[in-house]
């Protein structure tokens, strides 16, 4: 019994009833416009005639008018806002934003028409039925009320008057049942008509993919920049500690290299963090170290590097140049982590419409320690190359570790 009363008069039922009355209020302008046409056609003397033919004829004409006006894209967000607040449907089952596609506009129009249609009936009954029901319930108590309603003589009997209070209560209960049923129907149809269409789901998936790609790109920037700096600083600090008492000049050079590396890395870190603080409409990252800063990177890398360059590297497009710099930086970081101060050989050359990068360093005498969760450097290099339409691979070849990458000059971005 408590469950039934909750379904008819609980908070959710009351909110849905309010939602239906709101639909009736929204129907009124259409209904008034429809009476202008239906009244003269039906022969009524006034557009406000109490003829049921005029009333329901205007109602029938008002619904198509509402359906047509609901085809505007902004109908959906307004309907969603009301349904989220009053229908008791989980918010994530609704679509966000205006209805852009034909299917979305048709669904929104269907919802709007259903809402106004049911709301008009329920709100009309809510206005008319309770006073009538209360009057019926008071019939046994007042002869004046019986005279006022002009109760026919054959109904002015004891059995009828005894049943009148129950009939009035049944009317009110029936109204509550109808309102609850109409509200439940709207709640069931809300995700169907106001939920995302296949086009909305595709657009949302594309947005998520774009956001994920941006997050991955920023993660690679942080990993390559900070990871390389920490590896270089660790190696320089370790070497300086070993010769602290015997080679002051080397210690001075190591500290200068540490200072320069950390200063440069802090600047890059500020740039990436600035992107994270920007809004969704911010411009993508178009700046950062490129191949023109390669000499400085190699000089501060902490390992001896022999560079062989071929072609005019200054002619490499900016996007490809930035990714090539990061690939070299991550290759040096891997060499620092796994091979210590072993020399690195680096070849960078233009081959037709591609930029080729090859790095080699001797393999350490013992297998490198594996970090928990695994490193992400090699995978990041492969992702950078793939984003440009190229490819990269890394692994042991004989006695050396070899990294190779081929980047098309006409990259995808």
Tens digits of residue pLDDT in 309-356 = 988 888 888 888 988 988 888 888 888 777 766 889 999 999 888 999
Specify the DSSP class assigned to residue 196: P
Rounded mean pLDDT of 84-97?
88
Rounded mean pLDDT of 2-28?
89
Q: How far apart are CA 245 and CA 247, in angstroms?
A: 6
**Is residue 47's pLDDT more than 60?**
no
Rounded mean pLDDT of 17-23?
95
DSSP codes joined into one string, 299-366: HTSSS-EEEEEES-GGGS-HHHHHHHHHHHHHHHHHHHHHHTT--EEEEEEEETTEEEEEEEEEPPSS
Do 360 and 345 contact (CB within 8 A), yes or no?
yes
User: Residue 20: its pLDDT value, please?
Assistant: 95
Most confident of 41-55, 173-187, 188-202: 173-187
User: Residue 313: its pLDDT value, please?
Assistant: 87
Q: 51-60, 281-290, 397-406: which has the minimum mean pLDDT?
A: 281-290
More confident residue, 9 or 307: 307
Rounded mean pLDDT of 39-65?
77
User: Residue 318: its pLDDT value, please?
Assistant: 87
User: Residue 42: its pLDDT value, please?
Assistant: 67
User: Residue 237: its pLDDT value, please?
Assistant: 80
User: Residue 16: its pLDDT value, please?
Assistant: 93
The per-residue pLDDT for range 354-389, each reduced to its tens digit, is 999 999 988 876 654 444 444 567 787 888 888 888
User: Residue 25: its pLDDT value, please?
Assistant: 94
**Is residue 281's pLDDT more than 70?**
no
User: Residue 271: its pLDDT value, please?
Assistant: 67
Q: How confident is the model at residue 69 (pLDDT cuts 50, 70, 90)?
A: very high
Neighbours of 42 (CB within 10 A): 14
Q: How far apart are CA 384 and CA 332, in angstroms?
A: 16
Q: 162-166, 196-200, 217-221, 285-289: which has the minimum mean pLDDT?
A: 285-289
The per-residue pLDDT for range 118-172, each reduced to its tens digit, is 999 999 999 999 999 998 888 888 777 777 767 665 555 666 778 888 999 999 9
Do 316 and 355 contact (CB within 8 A), yes or no?
yes
User: Residue 272: its pLDDT value, please?
Assistant: 66
Neighbours of 266 (CB within 10 A): 13
User: Residue 100: its pLDDT value, please?
Assistant: 86
CA-nearest of 263, 332, 265, 327 to 304 is: 332
Q: How confident is the model at residue 175 (pLDDT cuts 50, 70, 90)?
A: very high
Q: Is 408 helix (H, G, I), strand (E, B) or coil?
A: strand
User: Residue 43: its pLDDT value, please?
Assistant: 62
The percentage of residues in the chain with a pLDDT greater than 70, rounded to a whole number, is 83
User: Residue 177: its pLDDT value, please?
Assistant: 93
Residue with tokens 């009997």: 157
The mean of the pLDDT values for the chain is 82
Rounded mean pLDDT of 58-76?
92
Q: How confident is the model at residue 110 (pLDDT cuts 50, 70, 90)?
A: very high
At the topology level of CATH, where does 203-408 sit? Heat Shock Protein 90 (3.30.565)
For the chain, give every domain's residue range: 2-196, 203-408
User: Residue 278: its pLDDT value, please?
Assistant: 58
The per-residue pLDDT for range 249-276, each reduced to its tens digit, is 878 877 877 777 777 777 767 766 666 6
More confident residue, 77 or 338: 77
User: Residue 48: its pLDDT value, please?
Assistant: 59
Do 94 and 187 contact (CB within 8 A), yes or no?
no
User: Residue 374: its pLDDT value, please?
Assistant: 46
User: Residue 119: its pLDDT value, please?
Assistant: 95
Contact partners, residue 169, CB within 8 Å, separation at least 6? 133, 137
**Is residue 195's pLDDT more than 50?**
yes
């Amino acid at each position: 019994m408590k469950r039934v009363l909750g379904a008819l008069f609980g908070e959710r039922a009351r909110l849905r009833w309010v939602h239906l009355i709101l639909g009736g209020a929204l129907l009124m302008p259409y209904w008034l416009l429809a009476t202008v046409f239906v009244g003269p056609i039906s022969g009524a003397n006034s557009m406000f005639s109490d003829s049921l033919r005029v009333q329901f004829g205007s109602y029938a004409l008002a619904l198509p008018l509402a359906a047509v006006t609901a085809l505007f894209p902004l109908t959906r967000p307004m309907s969603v806002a009301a349904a989220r607040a009053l229908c008791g449907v989980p918010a994530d089952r609704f679509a966000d934003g205006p209805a852009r596609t034909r299917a979305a506009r048709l669904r929104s129009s269907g919802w709007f028409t259903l809402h106004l249609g049911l709301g008009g009936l329920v709100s009309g009954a809510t206005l008319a039925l309770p006073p009538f029901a209360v009057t019926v319930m008071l019939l046994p108590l007042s002869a004046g009320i019986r005279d006022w309603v002009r109760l026919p003589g054959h109904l002015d009997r004891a059995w009828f008057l005894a049943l009148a209070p129950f009939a009035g209560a049944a009317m009110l209960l029936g109204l509550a049942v109808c309102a609850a049923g109409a509200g439940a129907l709207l709640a069931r149809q809300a995700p169907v008509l106001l939920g995302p269409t296949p086009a909305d789901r595709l657009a949302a998936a594309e947005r998520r993919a774009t956001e994920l790609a941006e997050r991955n790109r920023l993660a690679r920037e942080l990993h390559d920049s900070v990871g390389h700096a920490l590896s270089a600083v660790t190696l320089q600090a370790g070497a300086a500690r070993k010769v602290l008492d015997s080679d002051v000049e080397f210690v001075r050079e190591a500290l200068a290299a540490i200072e320069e590396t950390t200063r440069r890395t802090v600047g890059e870190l500020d740039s990436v963090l600035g992107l994270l603080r920007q809004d969704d409409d911010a411009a993508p990252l178009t700046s950062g170290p490129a191949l023109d800063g390669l000499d400085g990177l190699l000089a501060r890398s902490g390992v001896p590097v022999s560079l062989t360059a071929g072609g005019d590297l200054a002619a490499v497009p900016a996007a490809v140049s930035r990714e090539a710099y990061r690939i070299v930086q991550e290759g040096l970081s891997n060499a620092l982590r796994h091979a210590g101060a072993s020399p690195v050989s680096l070849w960078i050359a233009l081959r037709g419409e591609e930029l080729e990068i090859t790095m080699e360093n001797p393999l350490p005498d013992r297998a490198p320690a594996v970090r928990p969760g695994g490193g992400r450097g090699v995978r990041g290099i492969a992702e950078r190359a793939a984003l440009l339409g190229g490819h990269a691979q890394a692994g042991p070849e004989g006695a050396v570790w070899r990294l190779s990458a081929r980047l098309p000059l006409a990259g995808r971005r």
